[in-house]
Amino acid sequence: STGAVKMQPKAEELKFVTKNDGYVHIHPSSVNYQTRHFESPYLVYHEKIKTSRVFIRDCSMVSVYPLVLLGGGQVHMQLLRGDFVISLDDGWIRFVAASHQVAELVKELRSELDQLLQDKIKNPSMDLCLCPRGSRIIGMIVKLVTTQ
């Protein structure tokens, strides 16, 4: 007659894992401290401090595609137990792609974006929106991020 309802964790119970520090918590002074549910399990942060435990501040949730396209390190793709897996940071962060084509397209889009940014660094006056290649790459990224 009664059932259990899954409750969201309390703010002080919510924790995330980092590669180097293990579990970290959102600092009580952070705007996101009272947020008990994030659409994506990934956060980016600006500051990490250690007091009674390791805390992060100035954090924002980030979804998968922006993380893959703008995150540091190389993007790798492999077939793992029938799934096409995109990995970052030497395999520490992994995503399962919907298909081999999606994985290849995301990997290629990241490569094109990296090259475009290198071209912009070499030529700061280049207008990425007026450059045909730049506007196509930016358009594809906007479409991917806004529709997925």
Domain shared by 46 and 70, yes or no? no
Average pLDDT, the chain: 87
Residues 86 and 108 in one domain: yes
Give the model's pLDDT for residue 23: 92
Residue 132: pLDDT over 90: yes
HSE, CB side, 13 Å, CA atoms: give it for residue 27: 17
The predicted model gives 115-138 an average pLDDT of 93
Is 4 among the domain residues? no
Q: Is 111 a domain residue?
A: yes
With a cut of 90, say whether residue 35 has pLDDT above it: no
Which pLDDT value is given to residue 148?
66
69 lies in the same domain as 142:
yes
The mean per-residue pLDDT over the stretch 141-146 comes to 84
Number of domains in the chain: 2
Is residue 46 a part of any domain in this protein? yes
Per-residue pLDDT reduced to its tens digit, 66-111 = 888 888 778 888 888 888 888 888 888 888 888 888 888 888 999 9
Same domain, 56 and 82: no
72 versus 45: the higher-pLDDT residue is 45
Are 87 and 133 found together in one domain? yes
Domain assignment present for residue 119? The answer is yes
112: containing domain: 65-146
pLDDT tens string 105-125: 888 999 999 999 999 999 999
Q: Residue 12: what pLDDT?
A: 74
Q: pLDDT category, 49, cuts 50, 70, 90? A: very high
Question: pLDDT tier at 4 (50, 70, 90 boundaries)?
Answer: low
Task: Provide the pairing of β-strand 15-18 with 22-26.
Answer: antiparallel
Tell me, yes or no, whether 116 and 141 share the same domain: yes
Structural domain ending residue among the three candidates 42, 62, 82: 62
pTM: 0.73
